[in-house]
Structure 1
Amino acid sequence: MRYIIIGAGAIGGTIGGRLYESGHQVVLVARGSQYQALHEQGLALTTPDLGTRVLPVPVAQGPQGVELAPEDVLVLAVKTQDTEAALVAWADRPVAGGGTAGERLPLVIAQNGVENERLALRRFARVYGMCVLLPASYLAAGSITAPCTPYTGMLTLGHYPPRAEADGTLRAIGEDLVKAGFLAPLAPDVMYWKYGKLVTNLVTTVEALCGTGGDPAAQRVAREAVAEADRVLDAAGIARADAAEMADMRTGKVEKPPVSGAATGGSSWQSLARGTGSIEADHLNGEMVLLGRLHGVPVPVNEALQRLANASARERRAPGSLTGEELAAAVGLV
């Protein structure tokens, strides 16, 4: 199989780079300065086991730069706010031998949140979910750091919609990921894990707004955002992995070593650090807002976090621009 990684940021770049150096065919799809750096210099990937190396992974600017074949696997790794545009761009691309990508090719959703699978199923017949536990940073074009050990990440895979038995394609993808240094368990209901991950992702918005220093007031905001999520998910009847299950997935398997100096935050923190102008809050905290409105459960902290995160991205504020006390006041926890 050849892996077409749509979105070569921290997650897509790490998955694609690891697959490439383990002997698999890979094409990274990037844009702007990231495409330019990958095209001219290759992918500088840093991991604890091998240090930094530059990988000459093939790169394309978009679907027009890739001639699709029946054995290709598409891996969607863009931020959720860019999902719809990516699906439109790729679904109708022709595949050698007849048909389109949407009709014939498997699409793996390697993204945060729970909306992407539903969006994809409108245009792709073969959709697979992936719960990504893969701390990685992408702050400079062409350079990605994946600091965890002994495994680079935990990539739980499953059919969407759920299916009790994994098909041959899903099993083959899992085997390839294991050879590339990941844990890749197959789950009968991958969304159980993705909803669990969604709850943990709510905290990344607080981190983006207040920084990674562990301010007590910011931690209080994070706890209340998670408490709101638990109430609304219970009201919606949505089963998900709890905090202990999510922690158990990582412990002893996907561990970040201690770092000296300023810590790099998660994906939302990195979006602000790079000044991208957008952030995933509409599909993280905003998912809780949506469910809260559907089921009559107030979620004022998540509403405020969504609003503040979008304003910070739009105005290109640096991560950590608010103190914990300022954030607590802004979300009504005073």
Structure 2
Amino acid sequence: MRYVVIGAGAIGGTIGGRLGQHGHEVVLVARGAHADRLRDKGLRLLTPTGPVELHAPVANSPADVDLDPDDVLVLAVKVQDAAALLAEWSAAPVGDSTAGAVLPVVCAQNGVEGERLALRWFRRVVGACVYMPASHLEPGVVVSEGAPVTGGLVLGRYPGGRDDLVERIAADLAASGFVATVSDDVMAAKRGKLLDNTGNALDAVCRPGDGWDDLRARARAEGEAALAAAGTPAADRARALPELVALDFGAAPVAGAERLGSSSWQSLHRGGSIETDWLNGEIVRIGRDHDVPTPVNEALQVLAATSVRRGLGPRAFDVGDVVALADRLLDGARASGSGRA
């Protein structure tokens, strides 16, 4: 199988880099200065055990790739960028058919919306819950801090089940430096990761200080309450990837690089869009559906959008700003009689 990695940033660059390093055919899809650097110099993957250099074909769009029926598409962009790319790639020709009709797409993204979006354009959708500390702040360079393995992935067919293809993808990843397992309910694992990711926006918009840890705990507790009200179980990392936990997996120092923040922090640092609407915003949506207050998650969603709109960069607010806004949102919801925030 050939892996066409759509979005060769932090996660896509790590997955594509490791697969290519271990002998799998890979195409890296990127744009702008990053694509230019990948094409000219190759991918430089910095890891705790030293740099990995990968020279692989680079594409800007489906027009640059002759797709084959044995290809696997790996979608590794943020969810807010997924719909347009899914529509574009699904229409790409594969023999007498199209990618959407015959190729699988693996949604290697945070949140729980990517798979549902993909099913609009692709018949074969594979969910991927990804635990992988990585950064991408410089064209051509990806920093992958995972140790003692590169990362962990839970794979499964969407909306549920498994098949031989998913097992083969998991085996390729497991042979390339990852812990990879297959689940009949991959979305339970992704909901568990969603709870972890409620802290991403806090890291991105809020300066550390007294009360920061309490805010993170409150955001997660709101998420747990919303998911419980919806009757949708969440599998935490210990349940979804026990082997990864047994390895004491975490982020390790990488020579020449410093981990400065979450993927959401990186988005604000680069001046781009941010995925908070699909993380904290997902908790807010579920809470509104089931009359569960989620004021901290809503406050983080508002402040993340404000940071993007005003070009404020990371950590423009302090703990008091988040608490005050969350209190106002909760009071406003109560005043309206809805009980929702």
Q: TM-score, normalised by structure 2?
A: 0.91
Partner of 1:82: 81
Are residues 1:197 and 2:196 paired? no
Match of 1:233 among 220, 227, 231: 227
Please list every run of 5 or more consecutive structure 1 residues that lacks an aligned counterpart in the other structure: none
How far off its partner does 1:296 sit? 1.4
Q: Which amino acid aligns with 1:28?
A: L
- Tell me the distance in 2 between the aligned counterparts of 1:131 and 1:72: 21
- Tell me the distance in 2 between the aligned counterparts of 1:288 and 1:177: 30
- Tell me the distance in 1 between the aligned counterparts of 2:281 and 2:38: 33
The range that moved more, 13-22 or 295-304, is: 295-304
Query: What SS does the aligned partner of 2:211 have?
Result: helix
Distance of aligned partners of 1:267 and 1:251 in 2 relative to their CA distance in 1, 3 Å threshold = farther
Query: What SS does the aligned partner of 1:108 have?
Result: strand
Matched ranges for 1:275-290 at <5 A: 275-276=271-272, 278-290=273-285
Q: Which amino acid aligns with 1:48?
A: P
- Tell me the distance in 2 between the aligned counterparts of 1:205 and 1:246: 24
Are residues 1:167 and 2:145 paired? no
1:77-97 C-alpha deviation (Å, 9 max, x unpaired): 00000010011111111102x
Q: Which amino acid aligns with 1:90?
A: W
Partner of 2:288: 293
The range that moved more, 153-162 or 307-316, is: 307-316
Query: What SS does the aligned partner of 1:232 have?
Result: helix
Q: Which amino acid aligns with 2:157?
A: H
- Tell me the distance in 2 between the aligned counterparts of 1:236 and 1:296: 10
Are residues 1:138 and 2:132 paired? no
Partner of 2:337: none
Question: Retained in 2: the 8 A contact 1:151–1:253?
Answer: no
Match of 1:222 among 213, 216, 224: 216
Distance of aligned partners of 1:103 and 1:182 in 2 relative to their CA distance in 1, 3 Å threshold = same
How far off its partner does 1:162 sit? 0.7
- Tell me the distance in 2 between the aligned counterparts of 1:258 and 1:52: 13
- Tell me the distance in 1 between the aligned counterparts of 2:199 and 2:75: 23
How far off its partner does 1:129 sit? 0.4
Q: Which amino acid aligns with 2:72?
A: V
The range that moved more, 104-113 or 294-303, is: 294-303
Question: Retained in 2: the 8 A contact 1:5–1:12?
Answer: yes
Question: Retained in 2: the 8 A contact 1:208–1:319?
Answer: yes
Partner of 1:56: 55
- Tell me the distance in 2 between the aligned counterparts of 1:109 and 1:281: 17
How far off its partner does 1:245 sit? 3.9
Query: What SS does the aligned partner of 2:111 have?
Result: coil
Question: Retained in 1: the 8 A contact 2:113–2:278?
Answer: yes
Question: Retained in 2: the 8 A contact 1:177–1:183?
Answer: yes
How far off its partner does 1:221 sit? 1.4
- Tell me the distance in 2 between the aligned counterparts of 1:74 and 1:311: 34
How far off its partner does 1:137 sit? 0.6
Match of 1:252 among 247, 263, 273: 247
How far off its partner does 1:148 sit? 1.3
Q: Which amino acid aligns with 2:160?
A: P
How far off its partner does 1:313 sit? 1.8
1:172-230 C-alpha deviation (Å, 9 max, x unpaired): 1111101110011111110010000001000011000125x5x3322221111111111
Question: Retained in 1: the 8 A contact 2:48–2:252?
Answer: no
Distance of aligned partners of 1:253 and 1:24 in 2 relative to their CA distance in 1, 3 Å threshold = farther
- Tell me the distance in 1 between the aligned counterparts of 2:118 and 2:254: 37
Count matched residues: 327
How far off its partner does 1:307 sit? 0.9
- Tell me the distance in 1 between the aligned counterparts of 2:37 and 2:306: 29
Q: Which amino acid aligns with 1:219?
A: D
Question: Retained in 1: the 8 A contact 2:230–2:286?
Answer: yes
Question: Retained in 2: the 8 A contact 1:128–1:160?
Answer: yes
**Backbone CA RMSD of aligned residues:** 2.0
- Tell me the distance in 2 between the aligned counterparts of 1:176 and 1:262: 29
How far off its partner does 1:41 sit? 1.4
Partner of 1:331: 326
Please list every run of 5 or more consecutive structure 2 residues that lacks an aligned counterpart in the other structure: 331-341
Are residues 1:113 and 2:111 paired? yes
How far off its partner does 1:253 sit? 4.7
Partner of 1:183: 179
Identity among equivalent pairs (%): 48
Question: Retained in 2: the 8 A contact 1:128–1:157?
Answer: yes
Are residues 1:319 and 2:304 paired? no
Partner of 1:34: 34
- Tell me the distance in 2 between the aligned counterparts of 1:233 and 1:53: 40
